[in-house]
Amino acid sequence: MEGETVIRNVTDIAIRVAACRTRRAVRHFSRSGFLSCVLAACLGVAGLPLAAWAQPAPDLGSEEQREAGRSLYMDKCAQCHGDAGQGDGVAAPFMRPMPRDFTAGVYKVRTTPSGQLPTDDDLARVIRDGMPYTGMPPWPQLSDDEIRNLVYYLKTFNADFSGPYGVPDLAEIPDPPSFSEASAERGRAVYEENQCFDCHGMAGRGDGSSAPTLQEQWGNHIRPADLTKRWTFIGGATRQDIYRTFTTGLDGSPMPSYSITPIEDSWALVDYVYSLSQDDPDYATAATARYAADPVDPAQGRAAFGEGRGAYFPVVGQVIESGRSFMPGVDGVEVKARYNADEIAIMLAWHDMSAETTGENAPDMAVPPTEQVVRDTVASVWSDAVAVQFPQEMAPEGLPYFLFGDAGQPVDLWFADLASGAGRSYVGRGSGNLIAGETDPSVHATYEDGEWTAVFAMPRDERFAEGAFVPIAFSVWDGFNDERGNRRGITGWYYLYIEPSERPSPVMPMLRAGGLTLLALLSIVGLMRFRRRTSVSA
């Protein structure tokens, strides 16, 4: 890799923003000063229109457009971003990342160099497409005109938009060359040279060593992106989006802008990040438990469950009962399972920014009802934990309540506190009524490169009969996020399919169906020919 120069910006956000501001001022001086001086000198008379040409006026919209934008803003946006655009609406305390403070004039998703304002199209794009898996939803139901009016109104919150920096430069974002495996392979080296792993982790799961202490400009903790989940990228998931995100940075967040040369290396990094995940999460509705005659060894971890990605279920916040979790630390759990005559084993794997292996956790810990806000400090007293839940009995009238069962229909809960690593079982008749179960599951859990893998093994009872669809639900606690008891990530009921050990061969049914069809056709044709012959001979 000789002869390549790699420039890495300082990660300290304060220094960086200051530097960018200065750079912006310098560039602007040279452009407006030098250019207009030279050109005005050359052309002499045409001073006034020329100055206007050398420094185009920002498009601030008409009074009516801004007013239309204002009323739309008060209707749809002020709830989170605040009546005065300061990012302090009623819903703001429950959100991480926090809603944008428009008065700061600092924006994450831009096609302009770091430190500059975004273009109108940049603002419009974020309004239209939203930022997935954050509090900012997409607004495809707004017309282009409505979005433009909103943009004009947003620009009134910060004076820079109407000042000399109101027309930002455009960063150069070329069309992407085609993806290649070789380039993605080389991108791994670029990823390491630029120390992306500091925040994003060695495997890109957002678990870098500095991840727990990262802060955005306003002092709140912010999690680095999990690069293995492209569908969660706030700046978009195409290769061009990824290029734009790291070349222009996410201003206001610790994600700096990078200038990686030669440009092939930039695209190699893009290809590497792109190669880390599939297009969409591909959420499942059922996981499959496969038969394997040999005994389950939980210590083998993932290797005991064969190749391939398991069923992936979305995890969302428990916002139904007291102890509500508005921004859970975990957004998905992968599930694989296997069984033999005596045992059933279930593997759960999920990405977690940091492993909390001290302290304790339990599904029935009390959470004070007043504790409603997402915390920003790193002083975890709760360990990470996970649980699997099954109905205790299959009742014809339906399932137990998915939040740890109900008085009429209890659930079995297999729980693992990942600090001790010990498995416990509970019988749940609602989240306020959990008692210890009879048999504790054996649990083996490991944390590696930002991923927890927990294997539960239990004696196989009659619920897990071959061919059965067993209702199953999950809970995940992220100790870093103060999750314990009812404050946790949950799923609704899904299914665990116990795939029969002997899969029936399709040959006999195929032969039978095909043979019967042929027989029917032949008898119809035969009958017609027979009748025809007899009628002709008669």
Partner 1 sequence: MNILILLAACAGLLALRFVPKMNILGWLVGWWAATFVFLRWGINPPLPTSIQGMFLAILTLSLLAYISANSAHFRFALDRAVAFATEKKYTVALLVTLILLPCLVALRVYFDVTEGPAPPLSSRTIHPPPPVSIEVAGRTIDLVNDDNPYRALETEDPAAFAEHVANGRRVYYENCVYCHGDDMAGDGLFAHGYDPIPANFQDATTIAMLQEGYIFWRIAKGGPGLPSESTPWLSAMPAWENFLTEEEMWDVTLFLYDFTGHRPRAREDHGGGGDGH
β-strands 286-291, 332-339: how paired? parallel
Calpha distance 99→77 (Å, rounded): 10
Asked if 444 and 342 count as a contact pair (C-beta separation under 8 A), the reply is no
Q: Please, which residue, 217 or 322, has the CB nearer to partner 1?
A: 322
Q: What angle do CA 164, 167, 172 make, to 5 degrees?
A: 130
Minimal distance in Å, beta carbon 322 to partner 1? Answer: 7
Tracing tokens 């001073």 back to the chain, one arrives at: 47
Task: Choose between 27 and 76: whose C-beta lies nearer to partner 1.
Answer: 76
Note whether 528 binds partner 1 by CB under 8 A: yes
172, 397, 438, 502: residue in contact with partner 1 (rule CB under 8 A):
397
Q: Closer CB to partner 1, residue 56 or residue 506? A: 506
* DSSP structure class, residue 215: B
Among 141, 178, 377, 534, binds partner 1 (CB under 8 A): 141
Examine residue 477 and tell whether it contacts partner 1 (CB under 8 A): no
Cβ proximity to partner 1: between 87 and 256 the closer is 87
Stretches 17-25, 281-289, 355-363, 437-445: which one binds partner 1 (CB under 8 A)? 281-289
Q: Give the number of residues in contact with partner 1, rule: CB under 8 A.
A: 60
Choose among 342, 350, 437: nearest CA to 389.
Answer: 437
Write the DSSP assignment of 401-447 as a string of letters: PTTT--SSS-EEEEEEETTT--EEEEEESSTT-EEE-SSPPEEEEEE
- Candidates 63, 294, 467, 502: give the one binding partner 1 (CB under 8 A): 467
Could you say which of 164, 262, 306, 492 contacts partner 1 (CB under 8 A)? Answer: 492
Angle at 3 between CA 250 and CA 173, to 5 degrees: 30
Q: Which stretch binds partner 1 (CB under 8 A): 156-164, 178-186, 193-201, 512-520?
A: 512-520
In total, the chain counts a number of residues equal to 538
Helices marked H in 96-213: 120-129, 144-154, 181-193, 197-200
Q: Minimal CA–CA distance to 466: which of 310, 296, 288?
A: 288
Stretch that binds partner 1, among 40-48, 132-140, 294-302, 350-358 (CB under 8 A): 132-140
Residue 306 within binding range of partner 1, rule CB under 8 A: no
Q: Is 538 exposed, middle or buried (0-12, 13-18, 19+ CB in 10 A)?
A: exposed
Q: Longest Cα pair distance anywhere in the chain, in angstroms?
A: 115
Q: How far is the CB of 192 from partner 1 (least distance, A)?
A: 34
Write the binding mask 341 to 380 for partner 1: x where contact by CB under 8 A, - elsewhere.
Answer: ----------------------------------------
Among 5, 143, 178, 285, contact with partner 1 (rule: CB under 8 A): 285
| Residues contributing to the site for partner 1 (CB under 8 A) | 75-76, 79-80, 89-91, 94, 133-135, 137, 139, 141, 283, 285-286, 314-317, 319-322, 326, 397-402, 406, 409, 467, 469, 490-493, 495, 497, 499, 504, 506, 509-511, 513-515, 517-518, 521-522, 524-525, 528-529, 532
